[in-house]
Amino acid sequence: MSAQDTRRRIPRTDHLLALPAALRAEQSLGGQRVREVVRGVQERARRGEIPPEAVVEEVTAALAASRPASMRPVLNATGVIVHTNLGRAPLSPAARRAVADAAGYADVEFDLAAGVRSRRGAGARAALLRSCPAVLPSGEELDALVVNNGAAALLLAATALAGDGEVILSRGEMIEIGAGFRLPDLIASAGARIREVGATNRTHLADYRAAITERTGALLSIHPSNYRITGFTASVPHAELAELAHAHALPLIADLGSGLLAPEPSLPQEPDARTALEAGADLVITSGDKLLGGPQAGILLGRAGVIDALARHPLARAVRADKLALAALEATLVGPVPPVLSSLRAEASQLRRRTEQLAARIDGSGVPARVVPHDGRVGGGGGAEVPLPGWAVAVPGSLAAPLRRGAPAVVGTLREGSCLLDLRCVPPAQEDVLLAAVLAAADGTSA
């Protein structure tokens, strides 16, 4: 290396690690991550991408932008409320506080008053029972169990109730969800055999009745949440399935998927747990991070005897929910209306007013913007094919990529050369952040 080599002027590692910004970052990122950032900036200087004199400034900026985990916060401007690729339901402020409180030591299985072990997640269980005050036709007590997701709940139910027997399921409900995941394959992995009945578009009570044998372990109803079959169709209501199941001393499992515990006026066709239970279902399965608006969780509600059998099964330990999910679920149930339901119930007129105001601010700042009609969606398998009328700000499509790369990242919808920004899932308090992101993206593309 010659005396004139500019690489000699690159600050030493120990000097950069002693910077105030590096010392502060070590407390949140850890020493290893800070060293990686420092070495990465030094390497850029060695390749000539930045001058040696800019290394300190670049290290400081890189550390400020670094996070302990790779996931980045995103402004969801797609209009899809339960966006699986963006983490499904955003937690409410109450749920976020509950997660922070539970992140350290917490009384997840401990009775502080008595000083003895207690039932895991008792608070979440009590909140579920209050939020779903179903009166079972059998007169039995209702109980609840929380596991780590909806698939785990179905796996546990099939394993504990059907064992290596048969589960009767309509062909029209043998669904595949995201990433090629097929629920019948999940059930089969538990050792149970699927007994298919009916046709894709029409299944009758007689089909179920004819399929019941001494090997039958349960009747299963799965709501085809991510698609609809219309036209010449027929299906069997839960009440009729329950009557048939109970006549043969079999349980009826109803997998609802979408997360509603009670009827939702804005989605009158969406199934809910209370209605299914009061129709006679012995066990209802639903998700915590969809329309319920909480954390990822599989929620099982049903007859106390059935829930007890599931809770005692060895598989229950493998799929149990962690303390953070239990805390967030309880806070979601007892706290204010979560963001998912606020977005779902947003009025089109209010959305239009907000959209027009933001479009005017963007356009007035020199970035072309106009208001266009844009239907939102529930997403996550809920409210399939149900449009949610609304509006969006249309900005140049060239801004889509820089918006995704910004901080925070903004995800919109590319359509006919425009990037559509739907405010349905963007809280009013973050509109200034969205405006700044659009202007920064425009400035970057014009530079």
Contact 288, 296 (CB under 8 A): yes
Helices 31-46 and 55-65 pack at an angle, to 10 degrees, of: 140
Determine how many CB atoms are found less than 10 A away from the CB of residue 181: 11
Position 8 scores a pLDDT of: 85
Answer for the pair 278, 302: CB distance below 8 angstroms, yes or no: no
Q: What pairing do the DSSP bridges indicate for beta strands 283-287 and 252-257?
A: parallel
Q: How far is CA 301 from the centre of its chain?
A: 20
Answer positive or negative: Cα dihedral of 295, 298, 304, 308: negative
**Among candidate residues 134, 107, 146, 422, the one with its CA nearest the CA of residue 289:** 146
Phi-psi label, residue 280: left if phi above 0, alpha if psi -120 to 50, beta otherwise: left
The DSSP call for residue 337 is: P
* Bond prior to 402 in cis (omega within 30° of 0): no
pLDDT of residue 225: 76
Relative to beta strand 252-257, strand 216-222 is: parallel
For residue 58, CA distances in Å to 8, 14, 22 come to: 17, 16, 12
Phi and psi at residue 9, to the nearest 5°: -90, -5
Residue in the block written with tokens 């977005």:
343
Three-state DSSP at 298 gives strand
What pLDDT tens digit does each residue of the chain (447 aa) get? Answer: 555 567 889 999 999 999 999 999 999 999 999 999 999 999 999 999 999 999 999 999 999 989 888 889 999 999 999 999 999 999 999 999 999 999 999 999 999 999 999 999 999 999 999 999 999 999 999 999 999 999 999 999 999 999 999 999 999 999 887 777 788 888 888 899 999 999 999 999 999 999 999 999 999 999 987 777 788 889 999 999 999 999 999 999 999 978 799 999 999 999 999 999 999 999 999 999 999 999 999 999 999 999 999 999 999 999 999 999 999 999 999 999 999 999 999 999 999 999 999 999 999 999 999 999 999 999 988 888 889 999 999 999 999 999 999 989 999 999 999 999 999 999 999 999 999 999 999 998 644
Residues 6+ apart with CB under 8 A from 246: 252, 280
On whether the CB atoms of residues 192 and 248 are closer than 8 A, the answer is: no
Tokens of 37: 């950032």
| pLDDT (0 to 100) of residue 383 | 85
The C-alpha atoms of residue 123 and residue 108 are separated, in whole angstroms, by 9
Q: How far is CA 101 from CA 69, 95, 111, in A?
A: 19, 10, 17
Burial class (CB in 10 A: 0-12, 13-18, 19+), 269: exposed
Q: What pTM value is reported for the model?
A: 0.90
Helices within 47-169 (DSSP H only): 55-65, 93-102, 122-131, 150-162
Contact (CB, 8 A) for 263 and 283: no
Residue 52: phi and psi, rounded to 5, are: -55, -35
Pinpoint the alpha helices (H) of 163-252.
183-189, 205-211, 238-247
Q: Where is 146: in which H helix or E strand?
A: strand 142-147
Which pLDDT does position 447 carry in this prediction? 41
Q: Where are the beta strands (DSSP E) in 344-406?
A: 370-373, 391-396
Q: Which domains does the chain have, with CATH numbers?
A: 16-65 (no CATH), 74-88+342-446 (3.90.1150.180), 93-336 (3.40.640.10)
